Amino acid sequence: MTSAGTGLLVLGALNFSAGTSDFFLDPSRDGCTRQRLEPGVSCTFGVAFLPRSPGNRSGALMIPDDAADAPQQVALNGRATAPLPAFSASSLALRQTLTGISDPQSVTLHNGGDGALVIHDITLDSTDFVQSNDCPGSLAAGSSCTITVRLKLIPSGSRAAFLSIADNATGSPQRLPLTGAVIAPTVALNPSGLGFTSNVGQTARAQVVQLVNTGEGSLTLSAIKVAGSPDFSQTNNCPTVVTPHSSCSLTITFTPSGTGQQEAAIRMADDATDSPQQIALLGYGTMPSVRVNPRSLSFSQNLSEPLQTKTITFTNIGDGPLTVSHVAVTGDYRQTNNCPGVIFAGESCTFRVTFAPVTAGVRNGSLILTDDADSLAGSQQVVSFSGTAFAPAVALTPTVLSPSVNVGNAAAPETVILRNSGDGALVVNSVSLSGPWAGDYSVVGNDCHGTILPGQTCSVTVSFIPSGSGLRQAFLVFSDSARGSPHVVSLRGVGTGPTVSPTAANLAFGTVTVGTTSAPQSVVLTNTGTGPLTIASISPPAGGEYAETNNCPHFLGRGASCTITVTFTPSAVGNRPTQTVVVADNALNGTSQIISLNGTGG
């Protein structure tokens, strides 16, 4: 400050205007307070700015003096800046393997303020950690630096510490939490033991074990092998290194070479603390065995009878499951069964075998069950069948009936003999008549019913009453159990009928002297029909003038003839009353033959 006037300038005590709290007069640099300055003489003073918070500040320095324009005033303006340190991570977690390998972790220190960050010191409060950094003594606003922390070799367990930054920022020191731990792999096996059961020589269903690294360190596998019974084997998809919280699978199979219990273990060598780990293996070799009851079946079967069925039981008496691969039956036999594909130990199933012969005689066969009994693939259980089939046979005597009788008359009954000529029992179900003229026949005797044993006979008697002339075709039908049923007897009855052919239907005697007898005249009756003519009567002429004689029998056979002879003895002159000779018979062309007689008395 300079005294620019012509007189002595007297200065008072320098002070600040109200509200100017962040500015201070530096006593060591104040050369003006209460000074007396000759014209042209100067003095100096120093003002310090010490802000208490960021931002702009203003004020005034007041200089009291005796000048006309007193007091003198100096305007003060200041801007307060501040560093703002921040870590790029809220904490650091360091890991160390069992072999002492530790991966360093880095954190960035950033000055996000508008003032320089003065770093006084970077320290760790634990000797288990070490740090290195590229941080300068003053970190400009907006700048960053890197601090790298490493975990020293520790034997086990975990550690904790703080990384501290002593600086000029508010809240100094800045502290970053640190943790450190020894990481190790941990093996978890699920399940830890396995049990198997299988027939000898057969591979049991494979089972899987999951190997999981539940630790925080990588697991290094050096070997996986089977120790113990060679009946166990394993395959796996495990890599050499199993990363933390990863898994792999082991597939184990068991193929027993003999019966009984087998033991083994899957052993794994690795870098886990509990190495080697193992999976306990227990296997049991079984063997199915079959008991068949019965081993053979015998049948005796009449072809005409219902089919016979018998039962076979198969039982697995071994201690392992029996696998049935095929069932076959040979010969005239059929089978049904309730056998599953696998028969477990102690269980049974049943075969129902039916003898179904197609022809008579000895009919052998077998049931063949293919399985793995006694642990032999393709093993066969054979049940033999012996069967004899008997067959009835029908012999009819005669096979044709040919009765012949006049229409309306009954022919003499005829008998048919049925003989069972086979070696099996014959069952006669029915005897009936059929055909277009079955009504002309009737069965008047029948003992053919039920069972007819081999060699035995029965008979059926048939009558015939034709209702018309000519061939009256019909059939006597036997429904039975023999091959070829129904068996038939042909009925070829003929309805016959006589017809009369007289040589004259009128005899004329002419004129004969009264009281004298004429020469005889004759009429010949001939049976020209197909059946015998029955002459019931020959009625002589009435009146006494005609006399009749004949040689006609009661039955006149077919083609036979007889003669009727008549004489005339008139009793008066003139034409005499006509008389008749009446022949009563059964001719088809008229049941009465009338011969007219006439003559004259002279």
Q: What is the pLDDT of residues 98-151, one digit of tens each?
A: 666 678 999 999 999 888 999 999 999 999 899 999 999 999 999 999 999 998
Phi–psi pair at 102, nearest 5 degrees: -130, 135
The Cα-based distances of 12 to 7, 8, 45, 47, 563 in angstroms read 16, 13, 13, 17, 213
Q: Which CATH architecture has domain 187-286?
A: Sandwich (2.60)
Q: Are strands 174-182 and 144-151 parallel, antiparallel or unpaired?
A: unpaired
| CATH 2.60.40.10 corresponds to the domain 290-390 | yes
180/221: higher pLDDT? 221
12-21, 201-210, 354-363, 436-445: which has the minimum mean pLDDT? 12-21
Which helix H or strand E contains 429, and what residues bound it?
A: strand 426-434
Domain 394-496 fold is Immunoglobulin-like (2.60.40)
- Dist CA 274 CA 271 (whole Å): 8
Q: How many CB atoms lie within 10 A of CB 567?
A: 18
Domain 85-182 fold is Immunoglobulin-like (2.60.40)
Mean pLDDT of 465-494: 94
- Mean pLDDT taken over the chain: 92
> What pLDDT sits at residue 100?
66
Residue type, 258: G
The tens digit of pLDDT for each residue in 157-169 reads 788 999 999 999 9
The tens digit of pLDDT for each residue in 222-233 reads 999 999 999 999
Q: For 477-520, what is the HEC assignment?
A: EEEECCCCCCEEEEEEEEEECCCEEECCCEEEEEEECCCCCCCC
SS3 of residue 5 by DSSP: coil
| Rounded to 5°, angle at Cα 536 from 530 and 541 | 120
Residue ranges of the chain assigned to CATH 2.60.40.10:
85-182, 187-286, 290-390, 394-496, 500-601
- pLDDT > 90? residue 326: yes
- pTM comes to 0.51
- Dist CA 423 CA 277 (whole Å): 81
pLDDT band at 178; cut points 50, 70, 90: very high
> What pLDDT sits at residue 332?
94
Mean pLDDT of 432-437: 96
250/361: higher pLDDT? 250
Domain 500-601 fold is Immunoglobulin-like (2.60.40)
Nearest one of 304, 218, 200, 208 to 251, comparing CA atoms: 208
The tens digit of pLDDT for each residue in 62-98 reads 999 998 888 999 999 988 888 999 999 999 998 877 6
Assigned token pair, 110: 């950033």
Nearest one of 599, 593, 409 to 516, comparing CA atoms: 599
Which helix H or strand E contains 370, and what residues bound it?
A: strand 361-371
| Rounded to 5°, angle at Cα 92 from 91 and 97 | 150
- pLDDT > 80? residue 591: no
- pLDDT > 90? residue 497: no
Whether residue 369 contacts residue 325, with contact meaning beta carbons closer than 8 Å, is answered with no
> What pLDDT sits at residue 151?
87
- pLDDT > 80? residue 333: yes
Which residues are CB-neighbours of 534 under 8 A, at least 6 positions away? 498, 554, 555, 556, 585, 586
> What pLDDT sits at residue 156?
67
- Dist CA 151 CA 178 (whole Å): 10
